[in-house]
Amino acid sequence: GQNIDQPTEMTATEGAIVQINCTYQTSGFNGLFWYQQHAGEAPTFLSYNVLDGLEEKGRFSSFLSRSKGYSYLLLKELQMKDSASYLCGVMDSNYQLIWGAGTKLIIKP
Amino acid sequence: GAVVSQHPSWVICKSGTSVKIECRSLDFQATTMFWYRQFPKQSLMLMATSNEGSKATYEQGVEKDKFLINHASLTLSTLTVTSAHPEDSSFYICSARELRDSGEAFFGQGTRLTVV
C-alpha cells in the first residue's frame, strides 16, 4: 500500500530551527510537495522537489532523497506565525497526490 | 504563484438541499482539478479528479451521484453536494493544475460546509 509518514506534532522555540521529516512508500514517484496549513484555512504551497537535493526558499528549505524515500522541511528563524500544520504530499506514478496526516508545529516564545 | 478562487468560503444549508461550490483558476488554464475534503484534525482526502471535458474519476468510497463534479471549461470546476446531510459537513478544498500529468497544484481557499 501507499504510505506517507510524518510526526504528528512538534514543538520549537521562536528564533530556532526545526526540521520536519517525511518518509514515503508509494507506487512510483513524480514529485514531493510541502504545504503549510493554518487552522481553518486551505493549504498554501511551500515547495516541490522532484530531484534529489536541497531546495532553499528564504527561511524554508526542503530536501529530498528518492533512494531513501525521505524528505524534510527545514524552517529557520522561527516566527510565531509559523505555528501551523505542515503537510507532506507525494505524487505517485498515476500523478495522484498522496498526503500525509500533517505535522502540527507549535512555536513557543 | 497562480491563483485559484473557490466560492463560497462558507455555507450553511438545511438537510436535504443541494449546495454548489465553484473553483476557478484565474490566471491559468486548469487541465486537471482535484476536489478534497478534510474532516477536523485529519488529512486531506482526495474525493475525485477531473480533467477538462471528461467525466470525473472518483476515489473509492465517494458517491458520484451525491458529489457531482463538472469541469466543463479550463477555468471552472464545480462540486455539487446533493441532498446534503449533517455528516456531509466538512471543509472542501479544490486544487488546479495546468498540466494533466505533472506540475504544481494550486489550492483554492476552501469552503466550510455546515449542514443543519
Classify residue B2 by burial, with Cβ atoms within 10 Å: 0-12, 13-18, 19+. Answer: middle
Mutating which of B34, B43, B114 best tests the A interface, going by the most A Cβ atoms within 10 A?
Answer: B43
More confident residue, B2 or A6: A6
Chain A residues with CB under 8 Å of B105 CB are 33, 97
Task: Collect all residues with Cβ–Cβ distance below 8 Å to B77 and sequence separation of at least 6.
Answer: B22, B23, B30, B33, B35, B50, B69, B70, B71, B94, B96
Q: Do A33 and B105 touch (CB under 8 A)?
A: yes
Give me the long-range contacts of B87-91 (CB less than 8 A, separation at least 24): B87/B115, B88/B113, B88/B115, B89/B113, B89/B114, B89/B115, B90/B37, B90/B38, B90/B39, B91/A40, B91/B37, B91/B38, B91/B39
For A32, the closest chain B residue by CA position comes to B104
Distance (Å) from the alpha carbon of B76 to chain A's nearest alpha carbon: 18
Task: Collect all residues with Cβ–Cβ distance below 8 Å to B44 and sequence separation of at least 6.
Answer: A43, A87, A99, B36, B37, B38, B93
Mean of all residue pLDDT scores within chain A? 92
Chain A residues with CB under 8 Å of B43 CB are 87, 99-102
Classify residue A79 by burial, with Cβ atoms within 10 Å: 0-12, 13-18, 19+. Answer: exposed
Residue B102 pLDDT: 63
- Write out pLDDT tens, residues A25-71: 998 998 899 999 988 787 888 988 989 999 998 999 999 999 999 99
Chain B residues with CB under 8 Å of A45 CB are 1, 104, 106-107
Q: What is the mean pLDDT of residues B24-49?
A: 86
Beta strands B106-107 and B111-115, pairing class = unpaired
Task: Collect all residues with Cβ–Cβ distance below 8 Å to A66 and sequence separation of at least 6.
Answer: A29, A52
Please give the share of chain A, as a percent, with pLDDT higher than 90.
68
- Write out pLDDT tens, residues B54-101: 889 999 999 999 999 999 899 999 999 999 999 999 989 999 988 776
* Option in A30, A87, A96 nearest B102 (CB): A30
Per-residue DSSP letter, B64: T
Please give the share of chain B, as a percent, with pLDDT higher than 90.
61
Residues paired with residue A55 on neighbouring β-strands, in sequence order: A62
All cell numbers assigned to B16: 436535504
pLDDT at B46 over 90: no
The size of the A-B interface in CB pairs under 8 A is 44
Beta strands B111-115 and B10-13, pairing class = parallel
Residue B41 pLDDT: 64
